[in-house]
C-alpha cells in the first residue's frame, strides 16, 4: 500500500463531476486500499477519489466503527435536517457549519462489485453526504455558513 497525495482546494480535479466506476477490479481495490491508508494517515473520517486525483465515483469512510467503501454510491432516501461543523482534508484548517439531511439511505457497489445498501444517521450520514458532494465537484466551503479557521477535525 502507499500514501497518496491529497489534492487541495484550487486543484481542478476537485471541481470535476466524477465518472462512474465501470469495472470493479483489482486496480480499483488497490486504489481503495491506498485511499484508506491515506485517510487514516491524515486522521480524516472520509476521502473521495477526486481528492487523490482520480475523478471516479469511489469513496472511503471510517467514522470510528469500520471502514466503509462506496463505489458508484447513490442516495435513495433522505429524512430530516441538521446543521453541524465540517472540515475537509482538501481544505486544511477551515471549518464551517453545513446543513445536511439527518438520515440517508445509500446504494452502492462493494469491492466485489455486489450491490449493497446502508442506512445512516449522525456523523456517518453527514460524512456520506460530504463525500458524495466531492463526486459532484462540490466542496463543503461552497455551501458552508460561517467559515472559520480552527482546531476542529472532521
Ligand atoms: Ni472533503
Confidence of residue 154 (pLDDT cuts 50, 70, 90): very low
Q: Look-up: residue for cell 477526486?
A: 50
Q: Which residues contact 26 (CB under 8 A, 6 or more apart)?
A: none
CB atoms within 10 A of CB 131: 24
Residue 36 maps to a domain: yes
Which residues constitute the domain of residue 95? 12-149
CA of 112 to the centre of ligand 1 (A): 25
CA of 4 to the centre of ligand 1 (A): 15
Residue 19 maps to a domain: yes
Name the residues annotated as catalytic.
131
Q: Which residues contact 128 (CB under 8 A, 6 or more apart)?
A: 46, 59, 61, 70, 73, 75, 104, 106, 120
Indicate the pTM of the whole model: 0.95
Instruction: Give tens-digit pLDDT for 109-148.
Output: 999 999 999 999 999 999 999 999 999 999 999 999 989 9
Residue 1 maps to a domain: no
Residue 70 maps to a domain: yes
CATH number, residue 37: 3.90.45.10
Number of domains in the chain: 1
CA of 92 to the centre of ligand 1 (A): 10
The beta strand positions in 58-114, using DSSP E, are 58-61, 68-79, 82-88, 91-100, 103-109
CA of 37 to the centre of ligand 1 (A): 16
Residue 7 maps to a domain: no
Residue 6 maps to a domain: no
CA of 116 to the centre of ligand 1 (A): 23
Residue 134 maps to a domain: yes
Residue 4 maps to a domain: no
The neighbourhood of ligand 1, an ion, using CB within 5 A, equals 88
Confidence of residue 31 (pLDDT cuts 50, 70, 90): very high
Amino acid at each position: 500500500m502507499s500514501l497518496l497525495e491529497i489534492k487541495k482546494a484550487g486543484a481542478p480535479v476537485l471541481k470535476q463531476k466524477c465518472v462512474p466506476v465501470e469495472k470493479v477490479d483489482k486496480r480499483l481495490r488497490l486504489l481503495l486500499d491506498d485511499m484508506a491508508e491515506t485517510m487514516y494517515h491524515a486522521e480524516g473520517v472520509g476521502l473521495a477519489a477526486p481528492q487523490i486525483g482520480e475523478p471516479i465515483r469511489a469513496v472511503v469512510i471510517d467514522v470510528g466503527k469500520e471502514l466503509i467503501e462506496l463505489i458508484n454510491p447513490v442516495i435513495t432516501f433522505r429524512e430530516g435536517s441538521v446543521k453541524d461543523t465540517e472540515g475537509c482534508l482538501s481544505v486544511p484548517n477551515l471549518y464551517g457549519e453545513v446543513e445536511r439531511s439527518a438520515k440517508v439511505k445509500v446504494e452502492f457497489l462493494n469491492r466485489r462489485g455486489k450491490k449493497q445498501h446502508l442506512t445512516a444517521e449522525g456523523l456517518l450520514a453527514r460524512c456520506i453526504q460530504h463525500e458524495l458532494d466531492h463526486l459532484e465537484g462540490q466542496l463543503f466551503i461552497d455551501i458552508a455558513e460561517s467559515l472559520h479557521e480552527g482546531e476542529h477535525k472532521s
